[in-house]
Chains A and B, each alone.
Chain A
Amino acid sequence: MIRTGDHVIIQKMGGEHLRVCKITRKTKILIEKLRFEIDGAIDQPYGLFEVSAGKVTRVAPESITDIAASFDFDTVSISSLSRSNDISNAPNSWRSATEETSSTNAAQARQKVTQDEIIKMKDTGVPAEQLIAKLVDGSASFSERTVYSQNKYINKKAKKHSDHVYLLKPTLRLVAESYYKKDPERVLHLRIDLLSHLLALSGIHYGSRCIVFEQCLGLLTSAIITRLGGSGACIHLHRGNIAQAIPCVDSMDFDKEISSVFLPLRISNLLEESMEETEEPMNVAKQFITMGTCVKKQEAVLMDEGESLSKKNEEAEKQEEKEDDRNIAIGEDGGGNASAADDCSLERRAERQRLQRQAWQLMQNAEIEILFIASKNINPVEILEKTWSSLRLSSTIVIYCPIAEPLYSAYHWLKIKNAVQVQIVDAFYRSHQVIQDRSHPIMQQFITGGFILSAVKVEQR
């Protein structure tokens, strides 16, 4: 059921775009020029909906077959009775000369229905089928086209003027495809076939314990949490004090049990190889000091050339420090509200620290079974060096990168560490149009992707 506060995947019937949207009353949706309010869908089952005059209503299940037949695919069977005149035989010059007297618009000469009439029909809620029927009647050359051309024309108009949308429950497949098609760069060009291959190579299942470092909006973390199903652990390494920039995880609407495996861990703890907070003496005075300051940075951390993991982390820490200072200022200004806010904030902080301790404990005990890395401008070898001792024997490592060069150094590093089953793969993936007598690969589609390096850790020599 579609409920207020949940996320929903929106796709126009016959359209290519997928949108992830959070549902609230009075939400206005715009997808591929189709505009509507979402209220009519609340408390309805996920499925197919019809848009009319800016409102949305559910389509009865019995009608889905007819609608799908009308819009998505050609069902016009080739009949020996149908004409197959070639377009070149049309007397174009005569027809053009005749109609020149009535209109100077070249396009208008071929279509009787005017743009204003189309807009008016749409605003008054005329069903798309009728609109398309009028367009077909008004087309000057429709009857003279080949059957294939006629079907293509109808489908083109159907896609453009379609008034049906799918409202679907978010799944990993739909979320991955949505973000990839919207902006592939921000998810590191991680296509669904590469994402699924990462999961397969890792051997992840219910109860696995994983470490993940990623820079693709939480898409990989969402995949891991989905496959864990509420058991195991997903230690999410992140910069700053709080795991941010993971909208894919938010989009999946995981329930509490499924989310319980998500253990954010600050990358700074990993760099310093310590959980200082665990060892703090319980001194109230020190508690105030630590509240407003960041963990001290270890000067001995070597600075690599170019963009370094430490440097980026330091910048994030500075930003967090400013925010903390601002919070303290607000706290000092407020009176009773400040203490109430402090209590709530303290509870969240305590929960966060508990999760960090849990994650740190798993890593210190070398109980990690899978390491995932999906990085763009971070050298994966840095992460491997810090996490290698946390992996137990026969654990798997999978690294994804949109370009191949960083995987070279990781490949050699893993070879030196005597890992086995080391391989690099990439993939070619495409969609096909499948219609009777007109099947071919789709001629233009997103093809960007990346490379996957996988390996298994074994006993040293």
Chain B
Amino acid sequence: MSFKWPWQYEFPPFFTLQTTLVTREKQLEAWSRLVVDYCQFHKIYTVDLADISNSELFVNSTLNRKLSLDGVRIVFDYLEHTRHIDWLDKNKNRCHIYWRRPEEWAILIYEWAVSNSLLNTPCTLYEITQGDDVTQESFYGLDKDVLLKSLAVLVEQRRAQLLNIGTGTEGLIAVNHTGSGFLSNKEIIEEGDTVIIYVNYGTSYAVEVKRGLILTMRYGALKHEYLIGKRYGSRISATAGYVYVLRPNAEMWTRALLRRTQIIYTPDCALILMLLDVKPGSIVCECGTGSGSLSHALAIAIAPTGHLYTHDIEGTRVKQVELEMMKHGLGEITTCVHQNVIEDGFSVENMCDAVFLDLPAPWIAIKHAKRALSQVHGGRVVSFSPCIEQIQRTCNALQYEGFVQINTVDETMASKRPKLEDDTVAMKSEMQCLMKENNHKCSTSALLPFPAAQPTHTGYIISATLLPSILS
């Protein structure tokens, strides 16, 4: 099998650097693709510019055309920009070429390790590129330098560690799983991940996947092994039916979590995040960790550079939420503090962008919240209380402490669905009549609340702004 040249290779202007910017961009893209494909086909890992600029790659004898040395350099600059090469010398004459980028190799190697149950197992570099298990993999025979670069990507993602044992020339690798995917974009379920098992509307379970465990539910039993290696969103057969396995997010976690206190539900969580002006990079104090429902929403919204300081008076709850955050990959951006905020204040001062209070007596904590907020940027305070008397006292305290834009709202969210055909007998006969005449589906005309019992009050939400008080 010989290398198949693209159509551009037979096109004389392809070998002349184009002056039009748009055209040049297309030209360079085509050249970079050609170079990568050519090196992949011939298994070339290291390129010497002087050699390759005279090879058939850049010289078309039949056309009597050749890309100039300047042109070749521009192509390799483009490849460097797209991270397909790394220069080996300062004069930029020799380079490594990656027909897949190291990130792409890293994904393939990691998926191989997952599907072969090699997580937390040491492997030698030889085993990864020359072992019997990998003869069918595309990275079989991979160049050692390229392999090391790919493994460096995994190390950076905290999915691998490089170990040196015995002679320095042979490395060993241990592949560790990362914390589960509230923030990740993974496709494949791995051991240690937290997944949402969706049974039906209103029934779902949060499960930490571990070999040997079984989840028991209405549709039978489900072994965790069946989940490992599947894609999120897959349909999984259980012994008496099937379920779906979903990637978790804050909203699904709120539905599925084990409740240790009364929690704040999604509509209020969402509004609180909006009123706090939370975004990636924000620093937030929360008081009243509770079951961690809002904590998850806050931590996910501020990741990856923000930080959440969450406080609770109950030590056991603090420990449990802290453990959950660690498992869910949010541990690095969350600090759980066992502290009585009413008496001792928050654990940070003069650095927060937002403070949230879910307390029986939030008016006592307002002065502590003010101290926690940044004096240079100001910030936002939100408090959640079920009773209007609590809101009155909180409002007075906010005003006394110099907060402005004090605003109190409440929200009631109703879940609904279209009226279904079998809801009434009359609808049936009407539908039959229509189907006979027009053979098209009867359309619905109303929304019904579903389920029938839904919350009509959750709490009042009071929000306020602290203006900056120090010139930056």
Q: Which of B23, B407, B468 contacts A431 (CB 8 A)?
A: B407
Interface size class of B (residues with CB under 8 A): 35 or more
Q: Are B274 and A172 in contact (CB under 8 A)?
A: yes
Q: Are A195 and B27 in contact (CB under 8 A)?
A: no
User: Quick check: is A54 within 8 A (CB to CB) of the other chain?
Assistant: no
B275 surroundings in chain A (CB, below 8 A)? 173
Across the interface, name the chain A residue whose C-beta is closest to B200. Answer: A420
Across the interface, name the chain A residue whose C-beta is closest to B253. Answer: A203
Q: Which of B13, B235, B416 contacts A424 (CB 8 A)?
A: B416
User: Quick check: is B131 within 8 A (CB to CB) of the other chain?
Assistant: no
User: Quick check: is B408 within 8 A (CB to CB) of the other chain?
Assistant: yes
User: Quick check: is A446 within 8 A (CB to CB) of the other chain?
Assistant: no
Q: Are B399 and A69 in contact (CB under 8 A)?
A: yes
Q: Are A166 and B405 in contact (CB under 8 A)?
A: yes
Q: Which of A1-51 contact B (CB under 8 A)?
A: 1, 11, 13, 45-48
A286 to chain B, nearest CB (A): 10
Given the complex of chains A and B, what is the CA–CA distance between A349 and B25 in angstroms? 12
Given the complex of chains A and B, what is the CA–CA distance between A208 and B182 in angstroms? 11
Q: Are A227 and B270 in contact (CB under 8 A)?
A: no
Q: Which of B233, B269, B410, B412 contacts A432 (CB 8 A)?
A: B410
Q: Are A192 and B271 in contact (CB under 8 A)?
A: yes
Q: Are B26 and A280 in contact (CB under 8 A)?
A: yes
Interface size class of A (residues with CB under 8 A): 35 or more
Across the interface, name the chain A residue whose C-beta is closest to B448. Answer: A424
B36 to chain A, nearest CB (A): 16
A349 surroundings in chain B (CB, below 8 A)? 22
User: Quick check: is B234 within 8 A (CB to CB) of the other chain?
Assistant: yes
Given A73-B406, A173-B277, A195-B274, A394 contacting B233 (CB threshold 8 A): yes
B363 to chain A, nearest CB (A): 12
Q: Are B231 and A393 in contact (CB under 8 A)?
A: yes
A192 surroundings in chain B (CB, below 8 A)? 271, 274
Given the complex of chains A and B, what is the CA–CA distance between A255 and B467 in angstroms? 23
B199 to chain A, nearest CB (A): 10
B142 to chain A, nearest CB (A): 23
Given A196-B273, A427-B412, A408 contacting B443 (CB threshold 8 A): yes
Q: Are A459 and B235 in contact (CB under 8 A)?
A: yes
Given the complex of chains A and B, what is the CA–CA distance between A227 and B303 in angstroms? 10
Across the interface, name the chain A residue whose C-beta is closest to B196. Answer: A394
Query: Main secondary structure on chain A at its contact with chain B?
Result: mixed
B37 to chain A, nearest CB (A): 17
Q: Are B404 and A434 in contact (CB under 8 A)?
A: no
Across the interface, name the chain B residue whose C-beta is closest to A404. Answer: B447
User: Quick check: is A230 within 8 A (CB to CB) of the other chain?
Assistant: yes
Q: Are A431 and B408 in contact (CB under 8 A)?
A: yes
Across the interface, name the chain B residue whose C-beta is closest to A209. Answer: B185
Given the complex of chains A and B, what is the CA–CA distance between A197 and B21 in angstroms? 44
Q: Which of A13, A393, A411 contacts B233 (CB 8 A)?
A: A393
Q: Are B185 and A227 in contact (CB under 8 A)?
A: no
B184 to chain A, nearest CB (A): 9
Binds B, one of A60-68, A122-130, A181-189: A60-68
Q: Are B411 and A193 in contact (CB under 8 A)?
A: yes
B201 surroundings in chain A (CB, below 8 A)? 420-423
Given the complex of chains A and B, what is the CA–CA distance between A459 and B187 in angstroms? 13
Q: Are A203 and B251 in contact (CB under 8 A)?
A: yes
Given the complex of chains A and B, what is the CA–CA distance between A43 and B462 in angstroms? 31
Q: Which of A65, A200, A346, A428 contacts B21 (CB 8 A)?
A: A346
A258 to chain B, nearest CB (A): 9
Give per-residue flags for A63-82: 1 if the beta carbon is below 8 A from chain B beta carbons, else 0. Answer: 01100110011010000000
User: Quick check: is A104 within 8 A (CB to CB) of the other chain?
Assistant: no
User: Quick check: is A171 within 8 A (CB to CB) of the other chain?
Assistant: yes
Q: Which of B375-412 contact A (CB under 8 A)?
A: 378, 388, 391-392, 395-396, 399-412
A69 surroundings in chain B (CB, below 8 A)? 399
A381 to chain B, nearest CB (A): 13
Q: Are A411 and B418 in contact (CB under 8 A)?
A: yes
User: Quick check: is A330 within 8 A (CB to CB) of the other chain?
Assistant: no
Q: Are A196 and B270 in contact (CB under 8 A)?
A: yes
User: Quick check: is B91 within 8 A (CB to CB) of the other chain?
Assistant: no
9 shortest interchain CB distances as A-B pairs: A393-B233, A229-B280, A203-B249, A394-B233, A200-B270, A196-B274, A61-B469, A196-B270, A394-B232
Besides A68-B399, A197-B270, A422-B201, 14 other CB < 8 A contacts?
A11-B405, A206-B280, A229-B279, A229-B305, A282-B11, A393-B187, A394-B233, A429-B409, A430-B410, A434-B388, A435-B392, A456-B198, A458-B244, A458-B246
Between-chain CB contacts (< 8 Å), 9 pairs: A48-B404, A48-B467, A65-B402, A206-B183, A206-B280, A393-B231, A420-B198, A451-B447, A456-B246
